[in-house]
Chains A and B, each alone.
Chain A
Amino acid sequence: MSSQPKAVALISGGLDSMLAAKLVMNQGVHVEGLNFYTGFCVEGHTHAIRKQDQNKPKRNNALWVAEQLGIKLHIVDVTEPYKDIVINPKHGYGANLNPCLDCKGFMVQKAYEWIQKHDFDFIITGEVMGQRPMSQRKNTLPVVQKESGAGDLLVRPLCAKLLPPTRPEQEGWLEREQLLDLSGRSRKPQMALAAKFGFEDYAQPAGGCCFLTDQAYSQKLADLWQARGSRDYELDDIMLLKVGRHLRPKQHFKIIISREEGETRFLEGYRKQFVNLITISHGGPLALIDGEVNEDDIQLAAQLVARYSQGRSAAQVDVEVKYMDGSAKVLHVQPLSPNDIPEQWHI
């Protein structure tokens, strides 16, 4: 080890990891940040897509936290290896398709690989005992430590005093007395600590940073797996689950219909990968068809798209269909009425 200990902090962009890093920095440790991109991160995506959200601040909270702390941040794309965590979580899912315990173990494992490669000494996380029902319980904190391989090189500064001493404490790189003993779901101690450190602006308490904790999103992912007959996905799949209205009129195909201009613009980027439809006689959405379809299916899809266009009350709407081979045709269809669209079509 060099004269100054070096730690890497898992920075989610929330308050806890910010405080954990700060506590360790205050002990003279060189700290850099690590942030993992899983593909399910809520961070900015819907803001970037939806026009109505584009006036909201678009900062990336992990970058912002790193800037407040004055540390470097390394963002690592883990979308490929993360698939196994989502598809086969050893410890199962939470309330939705959120594999929180496996996820935490995976991220700490990746951080452990990172410190070995970059010659850092230990890892910091912002975990608080008892704060999360799955990954931050007294009996699951040691699971993360063990399964990640990080062992006693994993320090949780916010609740360290409630846990056995780690190697950085034993070696004297950190003073245990300056670490904390926070537990439970109350945010008041963290808010008080933030005020003490002069952090006036920070992201709201974590939990909403992953789409897999969202019920509606998880339903769409489960539907995707069921329809395909396999629990797998590509990055484009999980990006598209974040966008538009999803309807499945038949088991073998679904339609993704944009809800506003920003979503239409985003879906345009996928027009070469999907059979797609757009109303041309009236203003309306762009729709992608996901699945193998025949002409009857396309006719039904066109009527459905017409239903969500400005021509929904018209006797006839013209819908342009574009195929993946570049060919196109125009269908003249009667829009479906709301009564023609069963509730179960909506995913």
Chain B
Amino acid sequence: MSEYIVDATRLLCPLPVIRTQNKAEELVKGDVIRVICTDPGATNDIPAWCRINGHKVLDINTVDNEITITIEVGGLG
């Protein structure tokens, strides 16, 4: 299992989802992505994208205006 960072700060949805999706396509099941973003819409959109594509949200952490969403890549990525 490896960990990767996706910097999606300043990007508005759906760009954080697209950046996450494109990263996940390069990875294998069990890899972890930490998506750093500033658009609060990502807290809805990235979990929705995970649900329909078989990935798992491990954590959503917000500090000031910066949100870190940690996801585990599933087998359907």
Contacts and interface: CB of A to CB of B under 8 A. Distances in A.
B48 A48 contact: no
A37 B51 CA distance: 20
Nearest to A70: B52
Contacts of B45: 44, 58-60, 63
B58 interface: no
Nearest to B48: A63
Contacts of A37: 14-15, 18
Question: Max chain B CB contacts within 10 Å: which of A49, A72, A75?
Answer: A75
Contact of B65 (A45, A70, A76, A265): A265
A66 B53 CA distance: 10
B48 A54 contact: no
A60 B12 contact: no
A263 interface: no
A159 B44 CA distance: 34
Interface in A39-85: 41, 43-45, 47-49, 54, 58-60, 62-64, 66-67, 70-77
How many of chain B's residues touch chain A, expressed as a range? 20 to 34
B75 interface: no
B40 A54 contact: yes
A172 interface: no
B41 A75 contact: no
A75 B21 contact: yes
A64 B49 CA distance: 9
Contacts of B27: none
A58 B48 contact: no
A269 interface: yes
Contact of A49 (B12, B14, B51): B12
B53 A72 contact: yes
A239 interface: yes
B76 interface: yes
**Interface residues of B, dominant DSSP:** helix
B39 interface: yes
Contact of B49 (A73, A77, A269): A73
Contacts of B51: 67
Contact of B13 (A44, A67, A73, A74): A44
B10 interface: yes
B10 A63 contact: no
A17 B76 CA distance: 24
B13 A60 contact: yes
B8 interface: no
B65 A75 contact: no
Given A71-B52, A72-B53, A60 B17 contact: yes
A76 B51 CA distance: 18
16 contacts: A37-B15, A44-B39, A45-B12, A47-B41, A48-B13, A48-B40, A59-B44, A60-B17, A60-B45, A63-B17, A63-B49, A73-B52, A75-B21, A76-B18, A77-B15, A269-B10
Closest 3 CB pairs of A and B: A58-B41, A63-B48, A269-B10
Interface of B: 10, 12-15, 17-18, 21, 39-41, 44-45, 48-49, 51-53, 65, 76
